[in-house]
Amino acid sequence: MIRIVLGAGQRLQQSQLSVQALARLSSVVIFLLASWADTERLALVALQGTLLALPYTLMESLVGRPLSAGLVPDNWSPESWARRVAAAAMLPVGGAAFLATSVALPDTSIGDRLFMIAPVVLQLPLEALFWSTARRRSAQRANLILQLVAVGTILTGLALAATGIRVDVAAVPAQVAVLAWVLLTAARAAPGLTRPGLWASVRVGSAYCGAAIVDLAYALALPSIAGAVAGQTAVVVLRALDLAFGPFHVALSASTREDIIAGRDTRWRTGTRAAAVVALLLVSATVLASERVRDLLAADLAAVGTTVVAAYCGYKALLAVATWLATRHMIWAPARRFLISAVGSRAIAFGGLAVSAVWVDAVGGLALQLLLCEALVVCWFLGRMRLTRPTSPGGSTDRADIPTASSVAS
DSSP assignment string, 322-339: HHHHHHHHHHHS-HHHHH
d(CA 366, CA 308): 9
- The pLDDT of residue 159 is above 50: yes
| 41 in Cβ contact with 168 (< 8 Å) | yes
Degrees, nearest 5: CA angle 364-382-218: 45
Q: What is the mean pLDDT of the chain?
A: 86
DSSP 264: G
Which pLDDT belongs to residue 236?
77
DSSP 390: P
Task: Give the largest CA-CA distance in the chain.
Answer: 65
Q: Which amino acid type is present at position 118?
A: A
Least confident of 59-63, 86-90, 224-228: 224-228
Q: What are the φ and ψ backbone dihedral angles of 194, each rounded to 5 degrees?
A: -110, 160
pLDDT tens digits, residue range 121-136?
999 999 999 999 988 7
- The pLDDT of residue 64 is above 60: yes
pLDDT tens digits, residue range 161-183?
999 899 999 999 999 999 999 99
Degrees, nearest 5: CA angle 144-149-155: 125
Which pLDDT belongs to residue 389?
56
d(CA 222, CA 11): 37
325 compared with 135, residue with greater pLDDT:
325
44 CB-side CA count, 13 A: 28
Which pLDDT belongs to residue 376?
96
Contacts of 17 (CB under 8 A, 6+ apart): 250, 251, 254, 272, 275
Which pLDDT belongs to residue 401?
38
Which pLDDT belongs to residue 398?
39
pLDDT tens digits, residue range 186-227?
777 677 778 888 888 999 999 999 888 888 888 777 777 777
Which pLDDT belongs to residue 403?
40
Task: Identify the bridge partners of residue 397 per DSSP, sorted by sequence position.
Answer: 391
Give the N- to C-terminal CA distance of the chain in Å, as an integer: 34
